[in-house]
Structure 1
Amino acid sequence: MTDRTQTTWESHPDMQEMRERHARAERAASTQQGQAVEALALITGLYLAASPWIAGFTDFGTLAINNLITGIAYAFLLSGFGHAYERTHARAWAAALIGLWTIVAPWVVAGNVDTTRTIVNNIIVGVVGLLLALAASAAAGETDRGDRGRTARTAR
């Protein structure tokens, strides 16, 4: 007979790291800054998706479809960022790229879509989206710095 030892999750070598990661996610999502960024990012993404109909440039099919797709992607990237803490930085930077793309899209997408209405709409939404993505990244970074400070204090 072989001697089998039963292992539990409590004895798993990565258990402490998993608990710390979960605690960081909870702290990032429970701060007022994290909740505000998450809510504003969701609103920004939904507005970007609906902006062709709200601002009235549905005639420009390429830009309308572009804004619809990028708005949905932006909303998905930054909503619930605390629940996927280990990917927060990557998601925030991807959202920042969407914000930059939104700013330049009226000049880059096919067709003559660079009208005053589309330019003003996309620049404002793009800047707001970029700032929110940077704030999400900063919120995650602050939680990391706080953990490092606590680890250094407890190690002494």
Structure 2
Amino acid sequence: MSYPQQPTGMTGHPEIAEMRERLERTASTGRAIALEGLILLAGVYAAISPWVVHFSAQPDIAVSNLIVGIAVGVIGLGLTLVPERMFRLAWTIVPLGVWLLISPWVVTATHGARAGIIWNNCWLGAVTILLGLAAMGLTIGITRGTRR
């Protein structure tokens, strides 16, 4: 006599299924789609900003922006393609934005950063932090909704 296989662990728990359903509904709203696209665009701009603002001659800050931009862009792309798996990583956008904000002073401490680099990274860092907080707000709204 064979017994039907029951899902093991938390994957079969009814609250998990409800949370997934709520996440899918939230991720398909216009606000979430716009937010995901803006995060992706912020990441792409951060990656190309050394060449747009013409500070690629300073390789330390250029490499920093390139790496952080790729990271933010990959998270934004992941939020767009598989939001149910990536929304929990949305919090990582905030520290990346903080790094963009402070990196002109940290990375270029020995020879100083030009005004264009400082303005670019301050605005870009602030926008990235706000987008990360907004993505976290969507995540918090999802988890709070499942506890009710």
Q: TM-score range by the shorter chain?
A: 0.7 to 0.9
Give 1:51 shift: 0.1
Name the residue aligned to 1:143. Answer: 142
- Cα 1:79–1:47 change in 2 (3 A) is same
Which one-letter code corresponds to 1:127 in the other structure?
A
1:117 and 2:123 are equivalent in the alignment = no
Residue pair 1:45, 1:74 contacting (<8 A) in 2 also:
yes
Would the aligned equivalents of 2:40 and 2:75 in 1 still touch at CA under 8 Å?
A: no
The TM-score with structure 1 as length reference comes to 0.81
1:122 alignment partner AA: N
- Verify the 8 A CA contact 2:94 2:133 in the aligned structure 1: yes
Amino acid in the other structure paired with 2:143: D
In structure 2, do the counterparts of structure 1 residues 17 and 119 end up closer, same or farther at CA, with 3 Å as the change threshold? Answer: same
1:103 partner amino acid = L
Tell me the percent identity: 33
Q: Is the 8 A contact 1:24 1:85 kept in 2?
A: no
Q: Which runs of 5+ in 1 are unaligned?
A: 150-156
Match of 2:14?
A: 16
The alignment's C-alpha RMSD in Å is 2.3
Give SS of 1:25's match.
helix
Which residue identity lines up with residue 116 of structure 2 in the other structure? R
Secondary structure of 2:57's counterpart equals coil
Aligned residues: 144
Distance (whole Å) between structure 2 residues aligned to residue 33 and residue 100 of structure 1: 23
Amino acid at match of 2:67: I
Q: Contact 2:104–2:121 at 8 Å: present in 1 too?
A: yes
Conserved in 1, the CA contact under 8 Å of 2:15 and 2:146?
A: no
> Judging changes above 3 Å, is the alpha-carbon distance between structure 1 residues 127 and 62 closer, same or farther for their aligned structure 2 residues?
same
Segments of structure 2 that go 5 or more residues without pairing to the other structure are none
How far off its partner does 1:126 sit? 0.3
Tell me how far 1:140 sits from its aligned partner.
Answer: 1.4
Is contact 1:60–1:113 with CA below 8 Å preserved after alignment? no
From the CA coordinates, give the structure whose radius of gyration is larger: 1
